[in-house]
Structure formats: structure tokens, C-alpha cells
Amino acid sequence: MSSLFHNVLYLPLLNLLFFIYNIVFSDLGVAIIVLTIVIRFVLLPIFYKGAKDQTIIQKLTPKIREIQQKHKEDKQEQTRQMLALYKDHKVNPFSSIGLLLLQLPILFALYRLFLGGFGDDVLSQLYSFVVRPEVINYHFLGVIALNEKNIILVLIAAVFQYLQTYYLMKVSASTMSTAPDENPAVAMAQKVSRRMMYFAPILTVIILSGLPSAIALYWLTTSAFSTIQQIVINKKIQGTPLS
């Protein structure tokens, strides 16, 4: 399994990073940003499907509650009716979980890439068509040393993490078909979201403060791109009618 992970994820990402590095005037920071954006664009169709499914499911809240009340004594029939409802509207209630599971191996590969550094043993694994750099420029825009800790970059990453969580909570609240005071489950979900809005940036600082700033730059780019991507996706599917 480790060999599969190495050959299918780690090596392609390593080679793509240095292929980009050679193009962007040997700036590792710019290469990390471009690599992150490329990965997000590759995964865009899956992100779009997941966001669309969640939006439709939120709009189906009244129907879901109706099924739950009608068949509260028969859990099997309740499940059958809800699955039929999801099938009728062509949504997958587990799409967000699948998206998370898909991202985790990529995330681990990128962390291994940035944490391990780029010594001779790593660069020797570059494909024959990828030019091996003689010297690696770790300074992003000539200012930030990406192989060292940088609290400023960590704090900026935390701010973008907050903005991402805030926007997702705002979108979720705007698409809810039920007011929080009418549905305790909705109220609980919003309460958890508000806590996450503050907890996520704190967790970001705790995790990134002891790591090379290359990972903070990757985290920052991912949060910023995810927020922009979510805005675009939600504008596109905002008026999606229920059939």
C-alpha cells in the first residue's frame, strides 16, 4: 500500500511541483501556489457535485422532516422513503464524506512532500523529462524562507481559514428552508458551525506554527481558493429548482 501511495500520489506531485518550479523562475512559493490551484481545478467537478447535492438536500429539509414525522415509528420505512427522495432528486447524502476521503491521501502526500524537504535523495526521484534544479530557492518572492517557520504566514492562513468557515456557514444558513427556532436540529447545526468558525483558525495556528512555512502557504492557498470556488459554485446553483 505504501508503494502504491508513493508511486501514484507522492511521485507525480513531486514531479509536478518541480516541473512548475522550473517554469515560474525557480520560486518554490509560486510553484506551491500553482500546484495547489492545479489540484483544486482537477477536483473541481467533484467539488461542484458535492456542493450541489448539499444545497439541494438543505432545500429538501421540509420534506425530510415530513418523512421523519410520518414514519417515526418505522425506521426502516423512514430510511427507504428518504433514500427514494434523494434518488428522485439525484443527490447523494454522503457526497461530502466521499470528498473528504478523496482529499485525505492527496493532503498526506503534500504534507510528506513539504515536510521531508528536497535533498538529493528526493530530487533523484524526478522523472527524466523534469529538469533537476542545481539549487532550490526556498525564499518565496525573495522574502519568506519556506523551509523555516513563519508566524506571519501562519496568521494569514488562519484568517483565510476563518473566512472560509464563515462563508460556508453563511451559505448554509441562507439555503436552509427551516428557521432555527422551528427545528432544533437546524439550531444545533448552526451552533456547531459558529463554534467551528472560531475553532478552525485556532487549530490552524496550533498545527502550522511548528511546521515549515511551505505548508502554511499551501494551507493559505487552499483556504483562499476554496472560498472563491465555493462562491462561484453557489452563485451557479443558487437558483437550482427542485423537481
Does residue 63 or residue 100 have the better pLDDT? 63
- Pick from 50-64, 135-149, 174-188 the range whose average pLDDT is largest: 135-149
- Sequence-distant (6+) residues with CB within 8 A of 226 are 40, 164
45 vs 43: CA distance, rounded Å: 6
* Interval 71-98 mean pLDDT: 85
Concatenated DSSP letters of 136-178: ---EETTTEETTS--HHHHHHHHHHHHHHHHHHHHHHHHH-SS
Give tens-digit pLDDT for 173-203. Answer: 655 544 444 445 455 555 656 777 788 899 9
Domain total of the chain = 1
Residue 243 lies in a domain: no
pTM over 0.85: no
| Residue 219: band (very low, low, confident or very high) from pLDDT cuts 50, 70, 90 | very high
CA distances, 235 to each of 48, 112, 182, 226, 228 (Å): 11, 35, 27, 14, 11
Q: Where are the beta strands (DSSP E) in 201-243?
A: none
Range of the domain at 135: 2-237
Residue 142 lies in a domain: yes
* Interval 122-135 mean pLDDT: 94
Q: Which amino acid is at 5?
A: F
Give tens-digit pLDDT for 17-26. Answer: 999 999 998 9
Residue 17 lies in a domain: yes
Residue 242 lies in a domain: no
Closest CA to 212 of 136, 159, 160: 136
Contact (CB, 8 A) for 165 and 196: yes
Does residue 214 or residue 107 have the better pLDDT? 214
CA distances, 89 to each of 52, 80, 126, 242 (Å): 11, 14, 46, 7
pLDDT at 2: 80
pLDDT at 180: 47
